[in-house]
Amino acid sequence: MKSEGFRVIGKGIPLSDSREKATGEAVYLPDYHEEGMLYGRILRSPHPHAKILHIDVSKARRLPGVRAVITHQDIPKIRFGVFDPPDKYPLEDDKVRFIGDEVAAVAAIDEEVAEEALQLIHVDYEVLPAVFDSLEAMSPGAPSIHEKANNIGTYICRQFGNVEQGFKESDHIFEDHFTTQGVAHCCLEPHGCIASYRSPGRYDFKITTQNTPTAHLQLAKALGVSINQVLVSKLKIGGAFGGKLGIEPVDLICGHLARQTGSSVKIIYTRAEEFQVTRIRHPSIIELKTGVRSDGQFIARKAKLIYDNGAYNSHGPRILASACGKFTALYGYTPNIKVEGYLVYTNNPYGGAFRGYGNPQITFAMESQMDMIAERLGMDNVELHLKNALHPNTITNCGAKITSCGLTECIQDAARTMGWKEKRRATPYRGVGMAVMVHSASGSRGLFSKGNFSDAVVKMTPDGGAVVLSGACDMGQGSDTVLAQVAAEELGILPRDVKMETSRTDIAPMDLGSYASRVTFMAGNAVQRAASKVRARLRELAGEMLEANVSDLVMKEGKIFVKGSPEKGMTVAEVVSQAYAMKGTLLTERGYYVAEYDPPDPKTGYGTYSLANSYACHMVEVEVDPKTGRWRIINYVAAHDSGRIINPLMAKAQIEGSIAQGIGFASTEDFDLARGKIRNDQFLSYRVPTPLDIPPIQVIFVETEDPNGPYGAKGLGEPGLVPVAPAIVNAIYHATGVRIKDLPVTPEKILEGLQKKKD
C-alpha cells in the first residue's frame, strides 16, 4: 500500500531537530548550568546485601563548601515505584540490597568537594548472605531479600485449552532450554537531574524522561506534595530505549537536596554509575515444550519463564507479563497453551524497561526452537512459519483480536528478497536464518493508568502556522516530526510551519509517555482529531470569506481555494488573521484519544492486550570462520508490518538502529557480574557494536492499514530489535551445525560446539 493521495503522510522528512543536533547546538542536561548551582553526589552501598546499622555524616557536614548532607532520616519515608506496592526508597533506611544502593547524598559548591564529602561519611553495615542466581534465590533456605516466599516477587500463570491433553494428541513433542544475559542500555547521555526548590514549596525539575506527564505525577507522590507543587521540564534526551521511563532515585534525591539548600542542585551519573545502578534488560531462563502434528501444525505449547528481577521491581512485573503475553500471542491459534512466569528477586542490579519490554528474551527462545522443530520435522522454516502464522481479522485461542496483520507477506517478501531457497543450499560455513515477531503497536493498559490515552491541543497562529501541544516525549525517535506531519496533513500546511510544544508539564496535555511503541498510534490519533476540528473551522470560515461551498474547498500547501479554480482562494494565514481580527474566532481545538477495548479477564488472561500489533520477519546471512569461531553478517533483510508508514526515512532509521542494538544483544554485549559487581563498567570493556559491525540492511515495509491507527499507522519503535538474536543464531546453526541456546553468541561457544561435533 502506498501513501497516494496524501501531501505529507508517507514523505521522508528529516527530524525537525536534526540540524541543531548535528551542529552541537542542542542542549542536553549535562550542558545545562544555572548561576549558584550546587553539585550533588550519592553515596552507594559497597555490599550486595547488608543491614544499615549507623550512618555518621558529621565530618562531611563540616567540610567547607558542603551545603547539605542527607540520609533517610532527612527525607519523608515514602517508597516509590511503577507498581503497587512500591519497594524502593530514594535513600535506604534499614538495609541495602545491591551494590550501588543509595545510602546518603551531598550537595556542594563543586563536584570535587561533593566527592570529598562522600569519603567522609561513615556507614556501619552488618553484611548479610546474598544470592545472585535466580534459581538459587527460589530454593528453600535462600537469603530473603524482600520478605517474599522463595524471593518470587511476581508469579503469572495463563492457560488456554488443555495443554496436557494437547501433548497426548501431538505426533511430536520438543523440549528445549534457553538463557539470555543482562544487557545495559548504553545511552551516550548518562542519567541525571537538576532540581530547584522555590517558595512557596514548589519543586522545578529538569530530567531526562520518556514520559514527562506521568513522571510529574510520580514525583509529586514520592515527594509527598500536591501535583501543582511540581513542575517538570524535559530537555533533549541523549538516548533512552526504555532506560529513562519513569523516575529514578537520583530525581528524588536531587529534589530533597534542593529543598534542603534552597538552591538548584545538579547530579549527573558517571559512566561507572550508569552501568552499575541503572536498569538493565532482565536476564532470563526459559523452558519450552511444544507439541506438533507431523505436518507442522501446533497442537500444544508450554513455557516456563524465570526472569532475574535483581534487587527491586521497577518495571519487572509488567515486563514478565508482557513476555508471557507474547508467548501466547505469536502462535495464538494453537488450541492448547500454558505459560508460567516467575519474577525473582536477587542481589543483582535490578532490571527495568528496555526496548522490546521482555519480548526479545522470549522471542529468542521461541524462534530458536521454531528453527529446531522445522529441522526435526524435515520442513523448511519458512513453510513452518506460514503454517502457523497469524492472519488479519481473526481472534486467537487466547482471545486476542487481530486487526491488521501482514505477517504472511513479511515472511514471503523477506524470503524473496534474501533469496532464501537458493541460500539454504549447503555452503560450508555460510548460512541463513530467520525469525518473526509480534509486538504491541498501540501501547497497552495499566502501565501508569488503568487506561491507555493521549491528549493534544492544536492552535492556529496568525501567520498560518500551528502550535501542537502534546505530552508525548520525543527522545530522539522523531515523534515531534511525525506528529507535526499529522497536523500538517490535516491543516493543509507544511510540517515546518508546525511548532511542537511537548516539554513542560504546566502547559502540555496529559499523555502516558513514549513507551510500548505507542506514540505514533496514540498521540497521532489525538493530534489528528484536534487538527481535523481546526480544519473544519478553517474550511467553514474560508467558505464564508470566499462565498463558496465548503465541500468545494481544497486545503493545500498553506492555501485554501476552490477546487478547479486555484486563483479563487486565500492563504491559511489570511483566513486565520481575519478570523482573529474581525470575527474574534478562536482556532484552538482539543483532541483526545482512548484505546477502547474490553480488558483481558483478570483471572484467566483471556482477551486483547493491545488495540493493534506490529509484525516482522527478519532474515540474516552469516559467514563463520571455523578456525577462530568468529562470524560476520553478510546480508540482512527486515520486513515489517507497522501499518501505513508516516515517515519512511525515519522509519527505516528506526529499524536500522533497532537491528544494531539487537546485534549487540546477540553477540558482544554481556553484563558481566561477579557477586553483584559489574566488571565491565566502561565502553572499553562493555562492547557495543560499532558502525563497522553493522551489515548492509534491506528494510521492507508491508504497509497494511490498521482501522484504528492514524491514517492506518501502527507503532514501530521496538519491533526491529525483537527478532534479531534468533535470526542470527539460526543462521549460525545453518552455517555450522552448532546450536547456541545461551546468549550471547561468542566465538568460544562456536569453537566449543564445532569441537563437540568432531568428537
Span 344-374, pLDDT tens digits: 999 999 999 999 999 999 999 999 999 999 9
Residue 511, pLDDT > 70, answer yes
Q: What is the pLDDT of residues 439-490, one digit of tens each?
A: 999 887 644 446 788 899 999 999 999 999 998 888 888 889 999 999 999 9
At residue 538, the pLDDT reads: 93
What is d(CA 735, CA 622) in angstroms, rounded to the nearest whole number?
A: 7
State the Cα angle at 744 between 742 and 749, rounded to 5°: 70
Per-residue pLDDT of 263-321, as tens digits, reads: 999 999 999 999 999 999 999 999 999 999 999 999 999 999 999 999 999 999 999 99
Backbone phi, psi, residue 329, to 5°: -85, -40
- The domains located in the chain, with CATH, are 32-128+188-239+244-277 (3.90.1170.50), 355-445+610-758 (3.30.365.10), 453-594 (3.30.365.10)
Instruction: Output the pLDDT for position 1.
Output: 47
Q: Between 718 and 507, name the one with better pLDDT.
A: 718
The three three-digit cell numbers of residue 237, written as one number = 534526551
What is the layout of strands, in order, in the sheet containing 613-624? 430-440, 613-624, 631-641, 697-701
Position 427 scores a pLDDT of: 85
Helix, strand, coil percentages in the chain from 3-state DSSP, rounded to 5: 30, 25, 40
Task: Please give the pLDDT value at position 448.
Answer: 44
In angstroms, the Cα distances linking 136 to 142, 152, 157, 345, 392 are 7, 11, 21, 10, 43
pLDDT value of position 393: 96
Residue 548 carries which side chain, given as an amino acid letter?
A
Q: How many angstroms separate the CA atoms of 371 and 54, rounded?
A: 56
Question: Cα(250)–Cα(252) distance, rounded to whole angstroms?
Answer: 6
pLDDT higher than 90, residue 79: yes
Tell me the three state secondary structure of residue 725.
Answer: helix
Answer yes or no: is pLDDT of 584 > 80: no
At 4 the pLDDT is 64
Average pLDDT value for residue range 113-134: 98
Beta bridge partners of 427: 430
CB 731 within 8 A of CB 741: no
| 659 Rama class: left (phi>0) / alpha (psi -120 to 50) / beta | alpha
Distance CA 666, CA 183 (A): 10
Q: Burial, 574: exposed, middle or buried (Cβ in 10 Å; 0-12, 13-18, 19+)?
A: middle
Q: At 711, list the grid cell.
A: 491514517
pLDDT of residue 704: 96
pLDDT for residue 447: 42
Dist CA 78 CA 86 (whole Å): 9
Query: CB under 8 Å to 79, separation ≥6 — which residues?
Result: 85, 86, 87, 88, 89
Q: What pLDDT, in 10s, does the model give residues 407-433?
A: 999 999 999 999 999 999 878 999 999
Q: What confidence tens digit (pLDDT) does each residue in 170-181 have?
A: 999 999 999 999
The pLDDT of residue 165 is: 98
Per-residue confidence (pLDDT) for residue 3, from 0 to 100? 52
Label each residue of 501-540 as H, E or C: ECCECCCCCCECCCCCCCHHHHHHHHHHHHHHHHHHHHHH
End-to-end CA distance of the chain: 53
Closest of 513, 375, 533 to residue 447, by C-alpha: 513
Distance (Å, rounded) from C-alpha 666 to C-alpha 364?
9
Q: Which residue type, as a one-letter code, is found at position 431?
A: G
Residue in this structure with the C-alpha cell 540482512, named with its chain if needed: 636
Who contacts 177 (Cβ-Cβ below 8 Å, separation ≥6)?
285, 286, 287, 288, 741
What are 39's three cell numbers? 553539585
Sign, Cα dihedral of 421, 426, 432, 438:
positive
Residue 364 sits at φ, ψ, to 5 deg, of -55, -45
How far apart are the C-alpha atoms of 217 and 194, rounded to whole Å? 17
Amino acid at site 515: Y
Query: 10 Å Cβ neighbour count for 338?
Result: 21
Q: Half-sphere exposure of residue 102, counting CA atoms within 13 Å on the CB side? A: 24
Q: Are strands 230-234 and 202-207 parallel, antiparallel or unpaired?
A: parallel
Please say whether the beta carbons of 586 and 541 come within 8 A: no
Question: pLDDT at position 361, please?
Answer: 98
- The C-alpha atoms of residue 562 and residue 570 are separated, in whole angstroms, by 10
- Element spanning 18, H or E: helix 18-23
Residue 133 pLDDT more than 50? yes
Please report how the helices 212-223 and 249-261 are oriented relative to each other, as an axis angle in degrees rounded to 10. Answer: 60
Eight-class DSSP state of 628: T
The mean pLDDT value of the chain amounts to: 94
Name the least confident of 434-448, 489-503, 536-550, 665-679: 434-448
User: E strands of 186-279, at which residues?
Assistant: 192-198, 202-207, 230-234, 265-268
Q: Please tell me the predicted confidence (pLDDT) of residue 291.
A: 98
- pTM to 2 decimal places: 0.95
Residues 659, 699: contact at Cβ < 8 Å? no
The Cβ-side half-sphere exposure at 625, using a 13 Å CA radius, reads 9
pLDDT bracket for residue 339 (50, 70, 90): very high
| Cell digits of residue 150 | 522463595
Task: Count CB atoms within 10 A of the CB of residue 722.
Answer: 30
- Provide the pLDDT confidence category of residue 2 given band limits of 50, 70 and 90: low
- The answer to whether 742 touches 364, Cβ cutoff 8 Å, is no
Helix axes 359-377, 724-736, angle to 10 degrees: 30
Q: How far apart are CA 667 and CA 680, in angstroms?
A: 15
Q: Across-strand partners of 615? A: 438, 641
Q: Strand pairing partners for 122?
A: 56
Q: Using CA atoms, how far apart are residues 146 and 350, in angstroms rounded to an integer?
A: 13
Q: What is the mean pLDDT of residues 224-251?
A: 92
Q: What is the percent of the chain with per-residue pLDDT over 90, rounded to a whole number? A: 82
Cell for 449?
493508568
Cα 418 to its chain centre, rounded Å, is 29
Q: Strand ranges (DSSP E) for 128-274?
A: 152-160, 172-180, 183-184, 192-198, 202-207, 230-234, 265-268
**Helix 519-546 and helix 479-491, axial crossing angle in degrees, nearest 10:** 30
Kindly state the average pLDDT of the residues 63-78: 97
Q: Which amino acid is at 85?
A: P
